[in-house]
Structure 1
Amino acid sequence: MNLLAAALAARGVRVLRFEFPYMAERRRTGGKRPPNPMSVLKQAFRLQAAQLQGRFFVGGKSMGGRVASMLAAEVGAAGFVCFGYPFHPPGKPERMRTEHLGVLQCPGLIVQGTRDPFGKPDEVAGYDLDPALGLLWLDGGEHDFRPLKSSGLTQHDLIEQAADAAAAFMTGQ
């Protein structure tokens, strides 16, 4: 996220970052901790979004993007961007997390690696997603946007592609 936030900032996108409670606890203790219940995650997100003024977009990486996509319209966002959306848990494609993406209340963009175990192109192609939802596939990227070494690309290259797409989406270009 540090590299992605920096890449967005380099494109003129102001970025406000925050940690969900479980992530802050992980950082404080150094131990593993499962995510908070969705109600806690949503409330933490709402508190951060309440500070925003003017026209803004929300987004996040993985679960943060999922929460952003669920609350974007509610918090008054102009749209949302998800980086590495968790369409389903790895190895469990039957446990889809897409219901709210079928009918969007505001525009959205998902930037996903083609090798992401949380949702690959052939899986996502069969999902009932709102036609207004944009999908950008980063060729060869994993969930963290690391590509295959044989691709000749680096994680930095894919993060730059993701930032280009997100900035263009948010500026309407």
Structure 2
Amino acid sequence: MITWYKSKDPLAQLIFAHGAGAGMDSEFMQQMAELLAGKQINVGLFNFEYMQKIKAEGKRRPPERADKLLAYFDLVIAQASKESELPMFIGGKSMGGRMASMLISDEAYLTKQYIKSINGIVAFGYPFHPPGKPEKLRTAHFPDLNSPLCVVQGQRDTFGTEHDVLALGLCDNVQLNWIPDGDHSLIPRKKSGFTQAQNWILAANKAAEFMHRNL
């Protein structure tokens, strides 16, 4: 169920969920897991059930409903909590980060001690709204978060640009980290003077700093 990228001297563990269109084997997921493992974080990757079917059948399909995604995420976290007593963080890329934040604000899941004791959430490229539809916000649950949320976002992300997100006046338990000229995968344009490698290293640094502060 879980593929681990382990640190030699871990201080914490992160259960890291993929986005809607690409599974745990995507370049972003693999690279970020390796970078974070180099910063004393054990990173556990997994595929949601719909993505497992995509890999098995070779046919595209949409993600399952949020309730099914949350239920499977819960199973993965439960397994990880049995395998290790390291401080636990959860998070993900895009949809995965959103699901992590929804899990930590859901009263039904917060009755479980291994969910309630999660130290924090890390979301890379949080989908604040669908592209071109800034009025359809996906932040209503933020005030109910049981743990602090670290958002690592590209300045140009069409799911929430720096300009749009800063105007929202989000609650204090949401920490925003902006990646220069980054898109939804934190990748900058060539003309910006930044590189993909630089941005992904910066993103990993911001996420690791957040986790180290919240042990």
Normalising by structure 1, what TM-score?
0.94
Q: Could you say what secondary structure the match of 1:129 adopts?
A: coil
Which segment drifts farther, 107-116 or 49-58?
49-58
Q: Which amino acid aligns with 1:115?
A: R
Sequence identity, in percent? 43
1:146 aligns with: 187
1:68 Cα shift?
Answer: 0.6
Please list every run of 5 or more consecutive structure 1 residues that lacks an aligned counterpart in the other structure: none
| Equivalence map 1:55-134=2 (5 Å) | 55-72=87-104, 74=110, 75-76=115-116, 77-134=118-175
1:45 aligns with: 73
Instruction: Please provide the CA RMSD for this pair.
Output: 1.5
Q: Could you say what secondary structure the match of 2:42 adopts?
A: coil
Q: Could you say what secondary structure the match of 2:176 adopts?
A: strand
Q: Which amino acid aligns with 2:46?
A: F
Alpha-carbon distance in structure 2 between the residues aligned to 1:102 and 1:125: 16
Q: Which amino acid aligns with 1:28?
A: A
- Off by >6 Å, runs of 4+ in structure 1: none
The answer to whether the 8 Å contact 1:102/1:128 transfers is no
Alpha-carbon distance in structure 2 between the residues aligned to 1:84 and 1:104: 18
Q: Which amino acid aligns with 2:72?
A: A
